[in-house]
């Protein structure tokens, strides 16, 4: 086994979830997915495709109709994007890995903004890259912010790739337009590629963009900029288990991306791609409803958390997580395990996302039933009361 693989850490989110999964009555908010099933019309399209016998390989880059539909969807949100720039991938995580395989050699320097979903920092390590992290910092009110100057200083002519996820999992931090402009200018000057994970772009609760989506690098960049944008059907269409996403890259890269996809997965399943075509056709009916509900979830949970003694949490502008700090509990893995055992509450430990998030907990608020969130907050309140420090 390669040393880089031996060195990979097991997911600390899994560590808590595995400890809690056999337990009766645990309210689980540890994973990043909604508990609502994929819309009926999307499921029906997959069934119809299978019934019609669509059981064969597709083009490496995806069905031309789907690439076209993705390009249309993206163009409405961010201005013209050609279908030639789209590669259909087996989930957002596969899109991330493909982009890294295409861009990063062993020994290359990769800069990542953390805390972040652990896959984004594990993937460069798998490829043998040298990873350096620029940390977001929590403010007193619990909101996380970027030290833009520190990030710009970390990007040098030897930086091959900058990995960014905004809206961010786990903190909800979202890049502003001005920050994106400065980062793009810096990366143009240093010749650094930007890998922008924008899978939460539709889960955005501010109304400061024309499209309603979070600010995207696609809004600013030229078609041939060194930019790869990762997208997914998982969050905006409730399709986590389907494993479908896409990549937007410069046109001249796409022939090579087709080769890489051939050697990774060859193509995404056709019936899943058919379902995705319907998801995009129905996007105006599906996504705004999901986002409106998620906003309700956030606005139900976060004020309850803010009302608890010794708890810091802010209302994040994007994503589907509350990120909270409980005073006096600095070991987030130990705290998450205790909450499972003693309160029946399943949260993800902050340390899973980077050392700067040690002491924090991630709570996925994508719950169909708002009363689950209220019950979870009550359990935390009771536990805090029982464990009050004298």
> Does 38 engage in binding with ligand PMP (CB under 6 A)?
no
Q: What is the DSSP letter of 38?
A: P
> Does 320 engage in binding with ligand PMP (CB under 6 A)?
no
Q: Which long-range contacts (CB under 8 A, 24 or more apart) does 52-56 make?
A: 54/270, 54/271, 54/274, 55/270, 55/271, 56/270
Q: Site for ligand PMP (CB under 6 A): which residue of 34, 49, 121, 165?
A: 165
- For the chain, how are helix, strand and coil distributed in percent, rounded to 5? 45, 15, 40
> Does 108 engage in binding with ligand PMP (CB under 6 A)?
no
# residues contacting ligand PMP (CB under 6 A): 13
Which residue, among 29, 34, 88, has the nearest Cα to 237 in the 3D structure?
Answer: 34
> Does 117 engage in binding with ligand PMP (CB under 6 A)?
yes
Q: Which is nearer to ligand PMP, 114 or 383 (CB)?
A: 114
CA 237, 264, 270, 35 dihedral sign is negative
Which residue, among 86, 56, 70, has the nearest Cα to 269 in the 3D structure?
Answer: 56
> Does 93 engage in binding with ligand PMP (CB under 6 A)?
yes
Stretch that binds ligand PMP, among 88-96, 185-193, 252-260, 332-340 (CB under 6 A): 88-96
Stretch that binds ligand PMP, among 40-48, 87-95, 107-115, 215-223 (CB under 6 A): 87-95
> Where in 248-307 is the site for ligand PMP (CB under 6 A)?
none
Least CB distance to ligand PMP at residue 116 (A): 7
Q: Site for ligand PMP (CB under 6 A): which residue of 12, 27, 32, 354?
A: 32
Token pair, residue 344, equals: 């029946």
Stretch that binds ligand PMP, among 54-62, 80-88, 90-98, 147-155 (CB under 6 A): 90-98
How many residues would you count in the chain? 390
Q: Site for ligand PMP (CB under 6 A): which residue of 115, 172, 245, 344?
A: 245
Q: Which is nearer to ligand PMP, 34 or 49 (CB)?
A: 34
Q: Largest Cα–Cα distance in the chain?
A: 68
| Residue 53 to residue 68: CA distance in whole angstroms | 23
Check if the beta carbon of residue 238 is closer than 8 Å to that of residue 34.
yes
> Where in 178-237 is the site for ligand PMP (CB under 6 A)?
197, 199, 232, 234
Least CB distance to ligand PMP at residue 385 (A): 33
Q: What are phi and psi of 200, to 5 degrees?
A: -100, 15
**DSSP 3-state assignment of 110?**
strand
Q: Site for ligand PMP (CB under 6 A): which residue of 20, 91, 118, 318?
A: 91
- Provide the binding-site residues for ligand PMP, judged by CB under 6 A: 32, 91-93, 117, 165, 169, 197, 199, 232, 234, 240, 245
């Amino acid at each position: 086994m390669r040393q880089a693989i031996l060195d990979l850490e097991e997911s600390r989110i899994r560590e808590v979830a595995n400890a809690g999964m056999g337990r009766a009555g645990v309210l689980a908010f540890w994973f990043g997915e909604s508990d609502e099933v994929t819309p009926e019309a999307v499921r029906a399209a997959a069934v119809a495709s299978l019934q019609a016998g669509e059981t064969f390989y597709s083009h490496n880059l995806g069905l031309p109709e789907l690439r076209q539909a993705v390009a249309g969807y993206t163009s409405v949100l961010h201005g013209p994007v050609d279908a030639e720039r789209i590669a259909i991938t087996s989930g957002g995580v596969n899109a991330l890995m493909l982009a890294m395989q295409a861009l990063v050699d062993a020994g290359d320097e990769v800069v990542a903004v953390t805390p972040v979903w652990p896959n984004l920092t594990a993937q460069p390590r798998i490829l043998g890259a040298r990873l350096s992290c620029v940390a977001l910092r929590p403010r007193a009110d619990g909101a996380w912010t970027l030290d833009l100057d520190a990030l710009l200083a970390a990007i040098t002519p030897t930086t091959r790739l900058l990995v960014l996820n905004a809206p961010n999992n786990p903190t909800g931090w979202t890049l502003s337009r001005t920050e994106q402009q400065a980062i793009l200018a810096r990366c143009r000057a240093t010749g650094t590629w930007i890998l922008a994970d924008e899978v939460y772009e539709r889960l955005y609760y501010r109304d400061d963009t024309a499209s309603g989506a979070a600010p995207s690098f696609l809004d600013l960049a030229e078609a041939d900029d060194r930019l790869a944008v990762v997208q997914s059907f998982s969050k905006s269409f409730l399709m986590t288990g389907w494993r479908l996403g896409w990549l937007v890259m410069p046109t001249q890269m796409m022939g090579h991306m087709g080769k890489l996809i051939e050697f990774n997965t060859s193509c995404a399943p056709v019936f899943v791609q058919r379902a995705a075509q319907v998801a995009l056709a129905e996007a105006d009916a599906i996504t705004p409803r999901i986002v409106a509900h998620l906003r309700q979830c956030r606005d139900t949970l976060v004020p309850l958390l803010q009302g608890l003694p010794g708890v810091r949490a802010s209302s994040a502008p994007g994503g589907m997580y509350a990120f909270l700090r409980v005073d006096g509990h600095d070991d987030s893995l130990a705290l998450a395990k205790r909450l499972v055992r003693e309160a029946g509450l399943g949260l993800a430990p902050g340390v899973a996302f980077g050392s700067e998030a040690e002491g924090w907990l991630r709570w996925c608020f994508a719950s169909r039933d708002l009363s689950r969130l209220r019950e979870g907050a009550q359990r935390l309140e009771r536990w805090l009361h029982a464990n009050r420090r004298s």
